[in-house]
């Protein structure tokens, strides 16, 4: 990621954080609309799940300038997702739901540059998680 992309992601997320609960609700609503089968992976309290999601995004966004500090945590998250039944193609659906949510949450602050920055950030992190999932499946 370029410094400008990191700046765009961090600044745009700062605008979403105040509506984190709403954003999480939008995200999961859109995710389940795009792929209703994913709903079966979520058996717990969805409000708590939304809080976890937004905390994780916040941690990642705040550490984009030092990705090496979170790679281990992202790798472990990818490994854990295998146990939940996450398949590689699900990451595309998550990306679509995330970008849609950000567009709705940011409104007039959403533009092509912000979308590209978030796409690069997500693709980078999802790549780590996908690779960790592949490794986890080979071990199992």
Is pLDDT above 70 for 138?
A: yes
Contact 16, 23 (CB under 8 A): yes
Which tokens in the block code for residue 98? 């995330």
Mean pLDDT of the chain: 94
Q: What is the mean pLDDT of residues 82-111?
A: 95
- Confidence bin at 139 (pLDDT 50/70/90): confident
**41-60 confidence digits (pLDDT tens):** 998 899 999 999 999 999 99
Report which DSSP code applies to 44.
Answer: S
Query: What pLDDT is stored for residue 12 in this prediction?
Result: 98
Report which DSSP code applies to 84.
Answer: T
77 by DSSP, 3-state: which? helix
Query: What pLDDT is stored for residue 137 in this prediction?
Result: 81
The rounded distance, in Å, linking the Cα atoms of 12 and 47 is 23
Q: What is the mean pLDDT of residues 89-95?
A: 96
Query: What pLDDT is stored for residue 140 in this prediction?
Result: 62
The rounded distance, in Å, linking the Cα atoms of 121 and 2 is 10
């Amino acid at each position: 990621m370029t410094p400008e992309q990191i700046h765009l992601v961090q600044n745009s997320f700062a605008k979403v954080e105040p509506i984190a609960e709403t954003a999480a609700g939008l995200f999961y609503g859109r995710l389940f609309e795009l792929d209703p089968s994913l709903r079966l992976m979520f058996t717990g309290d969805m409000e708590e799940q939304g809080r976890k999601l937004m905390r994780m995004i916040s941690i990642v966004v705040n550490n984009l300038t030092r990705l090496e500090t979170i790679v281990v945590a992202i790798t472990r998250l990818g490994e854990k997702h295998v146990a939940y039944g996450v398949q590689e193609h699900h990451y595309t659906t998550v990306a679509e739901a995330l970008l849609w949510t950000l567009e709705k949450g940011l409104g007039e602050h959403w533009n092509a540059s912000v979308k590209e920055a978030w796409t690069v950030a997500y693709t980078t992190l999802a790549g780590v998680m996908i690779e960790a999932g592949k490794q986890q499946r080979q071990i199992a």
